[in-house]
Amino acid sequence: MYDVAVVGAGPAGSQVAFRLAALGYEVVVVEKKTKIDAPVCCTGIIGQDCAGSLALDEDVTFRQANSASLRSPSGKSIRLWRPEPQASIVDRPAFNAALARRSQKQGAEYRLNSPVVNVQIGDSGVCLELSNQGNGSESLHARVVVIATGFASKVVGGLGLGKAGDFVIGAQAEVETIGVDEVEVYFSEEIAPGFFAWLVPTSPGKALAGLLSRRNPDDYLRKLLARLVTQGKIASAKVGMTHGGIPLQPLAKTYGDRLLVVGTAAGQIKPTTGGGIYYGLLCADIAANHLNRALKNDDLSAGNLSRYQREWRKKLGTELKIGYWARKLYEGLNDHQVDQIFDIIESHGIDEALLKAEDLSFDWHSKVVLRLMADRALAKAMMAIKIPWGREKKVVNS
State the distance between the two ends of the chain, measured CA to CA, in whole angstroms: 41
- pLDDT, position 394: 43
For the stretch 255-275, pLDDT in tens is 999 999 999 999 999 999 999
SS3 43: coil
Banded model confidence at residue 134, pLDDT cuts 50, 70, 90? low
- The DSSP line for 205-274 is TEEEEEEEESS-HHHHHHHHHHHHHHTTSBS-S----EEEEEESS--S--EETTEEE-GGGGT---TTT-
Burial class (CB within 10 angstroms; exposed 0-12, middle 13-18, buried 19+) of 128: buried
Q: With a threshold of 0.75, does the pTM exceed it?
A: yes
Which range, of 20-29, 111-120, 126-135, 247-256, averages the lowest pLDDT?
126-135
For the stretch 93-123, pLDDT in tens is 999 999 999 999 999 999 999 999 999 999 9
Task: Decide which of 357 and 179 is more confident.
Answer: 179
- Among 153-167, 253-267, 348-362, 374-388, the range of highest mean pLDDT: 253-267
Task: Provide the mean pLDDT of the chain.
Answer: 90
SS3 89: strand
Q: Give the integer Cα–Cα distance in Å for 43 and 378.
A: 31
- pLDDT, position 289: 98
Residue 103 CB partners (closer than 8 Å, separation 6+): 14, 15, 17, 18, 21, 27, 29, 110
Q: Give the integer Cα–Cα distance in Å for 63 and 92.
A: 12
Nearest CA-CA partner of 220 in 194, 200, 202:
194
Which range, of 35-39, 65-69, 350-354, averages the lowest pLDDT?
350-354
Task: Decide which of 191 and 85 is more confident.
Answer: 191
Nearest CA-CA partner of 284 in 29, 24, 105:
29
For the stretch 296-349, pLDDT in tens is 999 999 999 999 999 999 999 999 999 999 999 899 899 999 998 899 888 888
- pLDDT, position 360: 73
Sign of CA dihedral 100, 298, 285, 126: positive
Mean pLDDT over residues 16-42, rounded? Answer: 94
